Structure 1
Amino acid sequence: MRTTTLLLFFTLMGTYAFSQLNISPYAGWNFGMKARVYEGDIRVKNNTTFGVDLDYLMDGTSGIQLTYRFTSTDVTLYPWGEPTRKYSDVDLHYIMLGGIRHLMDGPIMPYGVFNIGILYADFKNGEQPNLYTYDDVVRLAFGFGLGLKVMFNERIGLNTAVRALVPVQWGGLSLGCSTGGGCGTGVSTGSSIISGDVTGGIVVVLGD
Structure 2
Amino acid sequence: MDLRDRLFLRFAASPGLKALAYVLFLAGGLLLFQGPGAVLLAVPLLADAYGARLIRALYDGFREDLLELLEDEARRECGLAPDEEGFPVWEYDGCVRHWLVKGLPDRVILTLMAPRQDFLVVARKEGRIFPPLSYAPLDYEILDAGTLDVYYRDITHVEVNGEAVVLHTSGGEVIEYEDHSGGAGQAVRELRERLREHKARSSP
Common fold: TM-score over 0.5: no
Query: What is the TM-score with the length of structure 1 in the denominator?
Result: 0.31
Higher CA-based Rg: 2
By percentage of residues, which structure has more strand? 1
Query: What is the TM-score with the length of structure 2 in the denominator?
Result: 0.32
By percentage of residues, which structure has more helix? 2
